[in-house]
Every structure is written in structure tokens, then in C-alpha cells.
Structure 1
């Protein structure tokens, strides 16, 4: 499992074996079962997660009890309620396992310490953060400029494996449609 994190980091920055041992010492490894909740809306966010295996969903529950899928996170992705994580405030979203999931977790304290003690990790985290920000902007633009069918086709093109791993009701929520229109889009 540790090799997956090393390979992921080394796609962005090189690490010596000693540097990697230092990096991984700042993380903890956890196993979760399907439906386990890693972050509960309204509670403090302790970790940012790197997904080694499995699949997560980041969900916003509105005041009417409706669940909105903000994102999915599969292997090689990072996920958290980043606003709450970085500001150390209560989560506005929940993070839940769609499948049995293995993750590396890092606290904000360890994230900051690692960035200071090994400056090239700050570059790594910045690149990952920028990539996430860009993806979020594309998602917003997609909602502003594309119809449901176009969003469906783009998601299918970008992440075809999601369609085998995620129930249609969750895909529909992510795309901003009900399950019935999603069935029409996929036929």
C-alpha cells in the first residue's frame, strides 16, 4: 500500500527512499467498509484522505434533507471537505464510502509540518490543490453551459469506470437530474 502513495507523489516530484520514509511517517493508513462515514457534516474535519483503493462520495445535505453529490473520489485521488479541513471548522459536507476503501490520512498539523520540513512536498500539495480547483471550475462551467445529456456524456468519457461502480441514483444526483431522466440519457 505504501508503494501506491510513493508512486503517486513521484508522478509530481522525485523522492529519495529516506524522503519517502519521512513523508509516509506523517500519514496514517485506515481501512473502511462500504457505507462507513469518514467525515460527518457538522463535525470537525480531522483528515485529508488519499484513496489507495475503493470509492468515496462527498455529499452536501441541504436543509430539506436532500443529498447532493459534490464529487466522487477513487484510486489515486485526494478528498476531504477542504474548506473545513484547512480552516479547522465544522464540515459542511459528509464523506462516505461507496465501496470498501483503503486510505492514507493526514492531519492538517502533519500536512503543514511536512510542507515546512520537506519543501518539495509543498510543491506537490500545491499542484494537487490546483488540479482540484481546476476540476471544480470545469464542473461549475459544465452546470452553467451544458444540458444533462452533455454532462452525462462528458462524465462517461472522462470516467467510464464510475458507471460500473456507482449506482444510477448517485450518478443522477451528481449530474443534477433525477434517476428517470438518467435512464433515458443512458439508453
Structure 2
């Protein structure tokens, strides 16, 4: 995973009204129905799951952020009941063609009382060399691209976080 050329890092939290021992983030993420996923954001189009060539579980998410369709190929890298980290080399479809970005999606919960938890939804994206070359070819400075992309990604994360928390709560209490 590339750590330079960060585009955005955003983190938002919301309450889950369920005891910590009932929450299992990987179970929720890999059993999320398409309707449930779509209900967490108007930008969410589709979700599915598969197994990667390395045998790890993958979540395939399709969403549209800032008018650009994205296909995320999330591979499970940390998979604990209260902490899930998924990493993707994601396809982004732009007016000038398809490019890719690195996305890290990190979900965590921590207890705040006997029957309540704090859920945190953290997303970090980085430019690939391919994206940087495409921007350079078009004469678009990376800092300008970053400034345009950040508010869209941050707003998306802020909007979906309470809906993800509610979905995790429903799953935990089913």
C-alpha cells in the first residue's frame, strides 16, 4: 500500500445501541445485502463478495462519488470482531477514462457503556502512479485534484457513517 500522495483521510463516528459483544464487523461487512448497502448512502449502487486469489475474503463495492463511478475491490487485511481493515486498488471512471486509486477502509467499534458503542468509519485514499501520470498529461496539478476531491469524499464518509452504524446495530440485534 502506497503511503505518499495522499488524497484524503476522513474519519467520522456514530453511536451503536448494542453491547460490544454482539458486534462483529467482518460478519456484518461480508453479509451486507445490496439493499442494506444501498440504504446507507444514495451514492451506493451495488455490493457483492468474493474470494481473492490469495484466499482472502473480498467485498466488491460500487458507488458514485462526485459523479465518478467507482468499483472498489476491498481485501480483508485486519479481521477482528471490533476492528476491520479493507484495502482496495479501486477503479474510478472519469470523463477522461478509467484510473485507479488506493483506498483503505477501516471500521472499528469501542464500548462506551454496557449497551452502547462508538463506531468509527475511517477512509484514506492515495493516488496511484497511473493517476498522477494522467493528471500530469492533462496539466492538472495534484494539489488541485486533491482540493477538488477532498470535500466530495469527506462528505460521502460523513453521510454514510450514521447509516452504517444503524445497519451494524440492526445486524448485531437481529
Alignment TM-score, normalising by the size of structure 2: 0.28
| Higher strand proportion (structure 1 or 2) | 2
| Higher helix proportion (structure 1 or 2) | 1
